[in-house]
Chain A
């Protein structure tokens, strides 16, 4: 099992450019999520999905799009990059095992800089 994989590891964008951060998991997890991590802010949820074809907004969805066409993949699209989107992005997946146990498995992260 590769677990949760993310590509690329690092990316530099110019303001206004668009790009897609890739995330894949091979654990057949229903739930997948995207977070951003900023100093002093902890982890903030951007978008999440509870299964193929079902996505919803998290805490900070503006400027990002997601889709979930397969169980395995959950790409995050930046529509028009802004310096405020400079951050480290983590993808996570999870399944529900026993009551309320929703432990998450995280990818290694993508460090994005927008200039």
Chain B
């Protein structure tokens, strides 16, 4: 079945550091890929997405590129802020039995210290 692999963390960075959170996936066909963010005490919200190979999703300074050859969708940000502290989930969406099925990674906790 489909799967998404990401490290659990926590990842601790100083403010203004460069961020990379790795995400790799296994899926048949051509899934769409997503990054969701969960701030403390809240539900998940979409951060960015890419629907086909070589697409780059971007939002709020975060970027991720859909790499079909390496089945990866790594999240990057050039300069993190304390307000970026949250849990980040990589996810894929693929058709299964005629329906769209979404698979999430376990989430990576990011802590940014001043």
Q: Which of B32, B36, B106, B107 contacts A102 (CB 8 A)?
A: B32
The reply to whether A42 and B105 form a contact with Cβ atoms under 8 Å apart is yes
Main secondary structure of the interface of B (DSSP, over half): strand
Interchain nearest-CB distance for B114 vs A (Å) = 26
Chain B residues with CB under 8 A of A90: 43-44
Which are the 3 A-B pairs with shortest beta-carbon distances?
A42-B106, A106-B43, A102-B93
CB nearest neighbor in B for A41 = B106
Interchain nearest-CB distance for A64 vs B (Å) = 18
Tell me, in angstroms, the Cα distance from A94 to B44 when the chains sit together: 13
CB nearest neighbor in B for A99 = B51
The reply to whether B30 and A42 form a contact with Cβ atoms under 8 Å apart is no
Interface size bucket, B side? 20 to 34
Apart from A43-B104, A100-B93, A102-B93: 5 A-B pairs, beta carbons within 8 A: A43-B44, A100-B95, A102-B102, A104-B102, A108-B43
Residues of B within 8 A of A (CB): 8, 30-32, 34, 36, 42-46, 49, 51-52, 89, 93-95, 99-100, 102, 104-107
Interchain nearest-CB distance for A111 vs B (Å) = 9
Chain A residues with CB under 8 A of B46: 103-105
Chain B residues with CB under 8 A of A107: 43
Contact of A96 with B100 at beta-carbon distance under 8 Å, contacts A42-B107, A101-B49, A102-B32 already known: yes
**A27 CB-CB contact with B under 8 Å:** no
CB nearest neighbor in B for A90 = B43
Chain A residues with CB under 8 A of B104: 35, 42-43
Tell me, in angstroms, the Cα distance from A94 to B8 when the chains sit together: 26
**A75 CB-CB contact with B under 8 Å:** no
- 23 A-B residue pairs with Cβ-Cβ distance under 8 Å, sorted by A, are A35-B104, A42-B104, A42-B105, A43-B89, A43-B104, A92-B44, A99-B51, A99-B52, A100-B51, A100-B93, A100-B94, A101-B49, A101-B51, A102-B32, A102-B102, A103-B46, A103-B49, A103-B93, A106-B36, A106-B43, A106-B45, A108-B42, A109-B42
Interchain nearest-CB distance for B10 vs A (Å) = 12
CB nearest neighbor in B for A56 = B99
CB nearest neighbor in A for B107 = A42
